[in-house]
Amino acid sequence: MNVTIVDYGAGNLGSVHQAFWTAGAEPETTSNPEKIASAERIVLPGVGAAGAALEQIRSRGLDKAMDAARHKGTPILGICLGLQMMAEEIDEYGIHRGLGWMKGKVSRIPETASVHVPHMGWTRIETTERAGGLIGASDRDRHFYFCHSNRLHLDEGVAAATVSHGETFTVAVRFGNVFAVQFHPEKSQLAGQKLIKQFLAWSPQGA
């Protein structure tokens, strides 16, 4: 299975590449729009500031390439910032226009004396029926590594999982051939490997 990892000049590309290779895929990291448009499966990784990342994606024509892939049914996995960029708007060091693949906005997690931001570490998620076939059911399968300051507010019913960190917010979405998660499967040990394998086996047509 060939997997194309989108390189937009930030992101923990080494880790994502390694995790897909470990899961048995043939990953390729690229910023070439043609390769992305014709990919078998696409991963849009995270770790970056939204403004800089979106600027890079647009200036390299990767937004159009991913759109082309999305419309012809290529399975796409978004990770962390990869999920956030799919929203309409992201508020991080200023307001940025997102890719607009789903209805929703991204803004900072409210900080309190006991709720620290960034949300950092391993947290148990709660899934919805949309997680079926993509996220395992056991307690261990549901603890994932998080590392983020902003969270998604959805304006449509595509949530696949939520987490509680002060408030409860969406940490996974699934719509059409797109699956995206706020946490880091590439760094979530066994639970993460399981999710990656399930993404590799996922056929959205049947979903």
Partner 1 sequence: MTTNRIIPSLLLRDKRLVKGVRFADYRDAGAPVTTCRAHSAQGADEISVVDIDASRLSREPDFETLQAVSRDVQVPLTFSGGIDGVSRARRAMEYGADKIGINSTALERPALIEELAHVFGAQAVVLGVDFVRRNGKILLYDHRSGKALETPGFAEWLRAATERGAGEIRLVAVDREGTREGLDTEAWQEARALTGVPIILEGGAGNLNQVAEAMKAGVDSVSLGTLLVFSDNNLLKVRRFLEGAGLPMRP
Q: Which residues bind partner 1 (CB under 8 A)?
A: 9-15, 18-19, 22, 47-52, 81, 92-93, 111, 116-124, 139-140, 143, 145-149, 164-165, 184, 187-190, 192-193
Of 174 and 187, nearer to partner 1 (C-beta) is 187
To partner 1, the closest distance from the beta carbon of 135 in angstroms equals: 15
Catalytic site includes residue 80: yes
**Left if phi > 0, otherwise alpha if psi is -120 to 50, otherwise beta: which for 166?**
left
Of 33 and 166, nearer to partner 1 (C-beta) is 166
To partner 1, the closest distance from the beta carbon of 139 in angstroms equals: 5
Which residues contact residue 65 at a Cβ distance below 8 angstroms, ignoring those fewer than 6 apart? 33, 34, 36, 37
DSSP-derived pairing of the beta strands 119-124 and 143-148: antiparallel
Neighbours of 28 (CB within 10 A): 15
Of 10 and 68, nearer to partner 1 (C-beta) is 10
Of 2 and 93, nearer to partner 1 (C-beta) is 93
Which residues contact residue 182 at a Cβ distance below 8 angstroms, ignoring those fewer than 6 apart? 80, 83, 84, 146, 148, 151, 152, 163, 170, 171, 172
The token duo for 109 is 């997690």
Of 17, 96, 143, 184, which one is the catalytic site residue? 184
To partner 1, the closest distance from the beta carbon of 38 in angstroms equals: 24
Q: How far apart are CA 19 and CA 185, in angstroms?
A: 8
Q: How far apart are CA 7 and CA 117, in angstroms?
A: 27
To partner 1, the closest distance from the beta carbon of 205 in angstroms equals: 31
Of 17, 80, 148, 165, which one is the catalytic site residue? 80
Active-site annotation, residues: 80, 184, 186
